[in-house]
Amino acid sequence: MLIAILNTGCANISSVKHTIHMLGYDSIVSCDYNTIINTDKLIIPGIGTSSLVMNNVNAYKLSNIIATFPNPILGICIGMQLMCLSSKEDGSIKALGIIENQTEQLTNYGKLIPHIGWNKVVHQSKNFLFKDIENGSCFYFVHSYNIPLSIADIATSIYGDLYTAAFNINNYYGVQFHPEKSGKLGMILLRNFIAL
């Protein structure tokens, strides 16, 4: 089993790589099509801004890799948000268009933005990604933008608004929280993804 971590130029790549290593798997950080297409799983990590990451995605022609990768793909935080049609961050950023939705700024409601910390995740289906994870468990979030609810949702969370915490459509999976920063439960979720 070889796992690719897409080198989008964003932060947090090393944390994802370390967690995968702790699970007993090898990973490679790359933006090369021929390298990635021969791996078993692809993870799109993210801490950063949509414009910065999309600029890197476009510069290195990474969107083609994402569109043609035949195996399961997991987008984390920004990696998940960029699977939308667009993002309202930094104006209106054209994204990858995997799901027909638009990333929007979290509504304040008197709460601090960005949302940083642990929050409850309610998974609404028996999707394998949440196998052995108790419904309503807490995961670690760092974000100022979210994805509104859609038919692709497999989990939701609330921070002011009710929003998408995880989705799945075909071989594409996305999580708004950071499993690599979510302790044991995050490792279980990443283990489940690798087992898909």
Beta bridge partners of 44: 75
Q: Do 49 and 148 form a contact (C-beta atoms < 8 A)?
A: no
Cα separation of 10 and 45, whole Å? 8
Amino acid residing at 98 = I
Is 138 one of the catalytic residues? no
* Catalytic entry in 115, 123, 143, 178: 178
User: Catalytic annotation on 77?
Assistant: yes
Domain that holds residue 104: 3-92+99-195
* pLDDT value of residue 100: 87
Residue keyed to tokens 């993210």:
46
Return the SS3 of 119: strand
Q: In this structure, are residues 7 and 31 in contact, taking their beta carbons and an 8 Å threshold?
A: yes
pLDDT of amino acid 16: 94
Question: 10, 48 in Cβ contact below 8 A?
Answer: yes
How much is the pTM?
0.94
CATH number reported for the structural domain that contains residue 124 in this entry: 3.40.50.880
In the chain, beta strands by DSSP E? 2-6, 26-30, 41-44, 73-76, 86-87, 93-94, 102-105, 115-120, 122-123, 138-143, 145-146, 153-159, 161-169, 172-175
pLDDT computed for residue 42 by the predictor: 96
Q: Is 180 a catalytic residue?
A: yes
**pLDDT by position in tens, the chain (length 196):** 999 999 887 777 899 999 999 999 999 999 999 999 999 999 999 877 777 788 888 888 888 889 889 999 999 998 998 898 888 776 677 888 899 888 888 887 878 899 999 999 999 878 999 999 999 999 999 999 999 999 999 999 999 889 999 999 999 999 999 999 999 999 999 999 999 9
Per the structure, the count of domains in the chain is 1
Catalytic residue of the set 77, 115, 123, 143: 77
